[in-house]
Structure 1
């Protein structure tokens, strides 16, 4: 027996190396071997608890990958996870070093000491590298969440996990696609859609607003309304509103204290114009949209007619295609040999395809790429506290929800002289029709007629305006009823 009742150190370098390696795999073995029973038992117990906790957490998250995304959207969990990984890695490496110190032969020569030091360094690296990768992922997620999501809003009640939507049955989000390329001045919001989502069923009505809508009304009493009084009003197109406000936010913005006063103002203008309470906006810079699609592995689409694009004569061929990010960008962007309204239809399809095909597991495995692309291309005023609720809503939408689109385009809307009262009626009817097609609370059967125009799964879309019974282009809506995107986007 050695001093303090401890057993003698291992007699050979080889045995010490084996015990050090074993202690790296199961911390505490070297301490038990040298008679440090209390330290060894404590390390073994701690290791067992951490292993069990990690296994249970991995099992739970693997069973529902969306849970991982929910955690990744919460800054406090990311910070706690980073601190836990850092502490565990430091403790583990300390145990490895101490195990070699207490188990090595007392008279080991230089080769033995060098071999032992090399093993200890390699074992510490084996712990430090994955720990560093995990901390980098957590930091990336935290940085992305902080950069993309907006601050908490003083005009809203504190977030309640049990009622994240504050009793609202629908959430309306303005989806903006901005094109700020080097060959054009400023940013024009050429893609504008309002996604009206039923928070119980996940059903979505996409309301497409053409970029060339004129005579857009501004909310009464706002700086914009005073700067562009009736009857002259605003002499630009709807897609000019963002840049107009961005050039003079102090003079024109409705809320000059917003993170992006121009986007916030456009959200309020469109909300007033279509008669919906739009709570949030999300602005995607189309210059980086291709990175987002690449990060989720591309998307599968069906193309009815070839779509020319670019300046080199490229073509997206007809048929069932798997598009990479650049091709998906042009699928939703090209107007060659078509028009704004056809492009609007494809943009609605693009949102549907991404929502349905963005697999949470793929998102997790490509997290670094997706986070980087998201940070470069997306900004929103959705508060960070609502991020988890929106992930739940997106999962419901992609799993059970149905998609419809209402295009506020000719023939039902005259873009040069739009009747905004009629437009509000069209929007109200589209939302009400979708709600009538949902199961009732009492019988559990659809309360709307199975043959109701515009209900999900309709084979054809009737026209109330005297036009043909089917759209004459893939994005052209004929008639005033919302069209099922299952029909428009096979």
Structure 2
């Protein structure tokens, strides 16, 4: 290390340049200033520490490329995120200390007043900038850990059934003049466990006489379907959640009887095993949409804001690529005035599809704290944190593929007296046609497909989406096209 007497022999511009260089070296390669002009042992320790951290980051990145789902499953665990948070805080403190030491090594007392002031300000700005960046990163990680811990608990992991994950998406409405959270919209997302290609099965909330699997408490209570004398509107599909919640004694040891009974009804209706459920509180949906910056979608007709028991306050006007903030997106999904339940189901699919297609990684990163805070109030689910990576992986794949849909609604299905065997047949056909698209992509075929005799899974993920659609399977994008 140069002696102070040696530094005095240097010209003032050289001393000033040396002081700034040591600060910039600390910014670019922490510890390098100590190697060059200070305690080399400290510098080498910092380098070894940074090399170890870099090796861990590279290893995780390589694993994410090879095994994306399992790697994400690991890194989103709350305990691992807490470790990352602690490491970031330690790095912030350590880096700040290195800047202070680099400033000391620059011998500011040997500099002229203006140069000393410039070096001091530069040191403060660089140190403060690094600390702020690392502390901000630690708060993002903390928000992720809190979000995962509060929303995704220690639920049991469910295996794919016949190569598919079936997730029940429920839109609950806890608005004014309502008792509890009632699922007014239900969509079963059937997701191919290899490709991520998804079929959305929209279930009308006013479907009557819904069955339950044999051996369940609800089947024992309602062997001929969910109905009883003078049940009025309470005996529809959306009333299952409320009934089970109000009769918890039928479900000993069950945390959420409403969700369990509803998923059992959906299993009996569709013939598919429901792996998980996600309940979204539509009344709290506003903050989540605002957190991601709103959504863009096509509005085919004028949609009232308000109505059905309250005044109409305005309208969402038709148009292509309309930008909707949280308030208007919520009413686009929720509005009932002047429309049928089936049209409302279609609008909700539009919103879900827009969220899926427009939620980019950059948006998640830059607005994560707001998204996480809003999601904790909006989302309730039994998806375990150990399965998050799987669904993130599938969601990334599904963004490249068209989403198909099927809804058992009139004229095909009379919701007051549904033909459940027909519904199960149509659901199976919709899924088979969706799987055929992956098979066609794998084989390089663009021929129009019909219901296949076999639903064998492709051995690899498709690299592109066939351009031709299949009969009787609606593409959600076409449903959302403005008139």
**TM-score, with length taken from structure 1:** 0.77
Closer/same/farther in 2, CA of residues 485 and 27 from structure 1, 3 Å limit:
closer
How far the C-alpha of 1:396 sits from its partner, in A, is 1.3
The residue aligned with 1:83 is 86
Equivalent residues of 1:213, 1:238 under 8 A apart? yes
The residue aligned with 2:462 is none
For residues 373 and 332 of structure 2, what CA distance do their matches in structure 1 show?
Answer: 23
Instruction: Give per-residue Cα distances to partners, 1:111-161, cap 9 Å, x unaligned.
Output: 99999998776654333222211110001001111112232417x5xxxxx
Instruction: Give per-residue Cα distances to partners, 1:363-392, cap 9 Å, x unaligned.
Output: 222111111111110111111111111011
Aligned counterpart in structure 1 of residue 254 of structure 2, from 244, 253, 257: 257
Equivalent residues of 1:7, 1:33 under 8 A apart? no
The residue aligned with 2:382 is 381
Equivalent residues of 2:333, 2:344 under 8 A apart? yes
For residues 55 and 426 of structure 1, what CA distance do their matches in structure 2 show?
Answer: 47
Number of corresponding residues? 450
1:245 aligned onto 2:244: yes
Closer/same/farther in 2, CA of residues 84 and 449 from structure 1, 3 Å limit:
same
Equivalent residues of 1:308, 1:336 under 8 A apart? yes
Equivalent residues of 2:167, 2:276 under 8 A apart? yes
1:337 aligned onto 2:338: yes
How far the C-alpha of 1:257 sits from its partner, in A, is 3.5
- Pick which of 229-238 and 338-347 moved more: 229-238
Q: Secondary structure at the match of 1:336?
A: coil
Pairs within 5 Å for 1:310-349: 310=306, 311-320=311-320, 321-349=322-350
Q: Secondary structure at the match of 1:332?
A: helix
1:487 aligned onto 2:478: yes
For residues 23 and 372 of structure 2, what CA distance do their matches in structure 1 show?
Answer: 37
Aligned counterpart in structure 2 of residue 186 of structure 1, from 163, 180, 186: 180
The residue aligned with 1:398 is 399
For residues 365 and 312 of structure 2, what CA distance do their matches in structure 1 show?
Answer: 35
The residue aligned with 2:420 is 420
Equivalent residues of 1:178, 1:189 under 8 A apart? yes
The residue aligned with 1:288 is 284
The residue aligned with 2:430 is 430
The residue aligned with 1:472 is none
How far the C-alpha of 1:107 sits from its partner, in A, is 11
For residues 126 and 231 of structure 1, what CA distance do their matches in structure 2 show?
Answer: 64
Closer/same/farther in 2, CA of residues 176 and 103 from structure 1, 3 Å limit:
same
Equivalent residues of 1:22, 1:29 under 8 A apart? no
The residue aligned with 2:133 is 130
For residues 19 and 79 of structure 2, what CA distance do their matches in structure 1 show?
Answer: 41
Closer/same/farther in 2, CA of residues 14 and 70 from structure 1, 3 Å limit:
same
**TM-score, with length taken from structure 2:** 0.79
Closer/same/farther in 2, CA of residues 237 and 456 from structure 1, 3 Å limit:
farther
Pairs within 5 Å for 1:52-201: 73-100=76-103, 104=107, 124-153=127-156, 156=158, 168-201=162-195
For residues 117 and 124 of structure 1, what CA distance do their matches in structure 2 show?
Answer: 11
For residues 451 and 264 of structure 1, what CA distance do their matches in structure 2 show?
Answer: 32
For residues 331 and 192 of structure 1, what CA distance do their matches in structure 2 show?
Answer: 16
For residues 58 and 383 of structure 1, what CA distance do their matches in structure 2 show?
Answer: 23
The residue aligned with 1:465 is none
Aligned counterpart in structure 1 of residue 3 of structure 2, from 2, 7, 14: 7
1:217 aligned onto 2:208: no
For residues 443 and 121 of structure 2, what CA distance do their matches in structure 1 show?
Answer: 72
Quote the RMSD (CA, aligned, Å): 4.1
Equivalent residues of 1:71, 1:78 under 8 A apart? no
Q: Secondary structure at the match of 1:297?
A: coil
Instruction: Give per-residue Cα distances to partners, 1:345-373, cap 9 Å, x unaligned.
Output: 11122222222222222222211111111
How far the C-alpha of 1:287 sits from its partner, in A, is 1.4
The residue aligned with 1:161 is none
For residues 195 and 242 of structure 2, what CA distance do their matches in structure 1 show?
Answer: 36
Instruction: Give per-residue Cα distances to partners, 1:82-136, cap 9 Å, x unaligned.
Output: 232122222222323444556657999xx99999998776654333222211110
How far the C-alpha of 1:290 sits from its partner, in A, is 2.5
For residues 19 and 442 of structure 1, what CA distance do their matches in structure 2 show?
Answer: 56
The residue aligned with 1:305 is 301
Closer/same/farther in 2, CA of residues 359 and 107 from structure 1, 3 Å limit:
closer
Closer/same/farther in 2, CA of residues 256 and 413 from structure 1, 3 Å limit:
farther
- Pick which of 290-299 and 227-236 moved more: 227-236
For residues 166 and 390 of structure 2, what CA distance do their matches in structure 1 show?
Answer: 14
For residues 167 and 187 of structure 1, what CA distance do their matches in structure 2 show?
Answer: 29
The residue aligned with 1:470 is none
For residues 362 and 139 of structure 2, what CA distance do their matches in structure 1 show?
Answer: 19
The residue aligned with 1:160 is none
Instruction: Give per-residue Cα distances to partners, 1:184-228, cap 9 Å, x unaligned.
Output: 121211110111122233322211111111112233333323444
Aligned counterpart in structure 2 of residue 274 of structure 1, from 270, 274, 277: 270
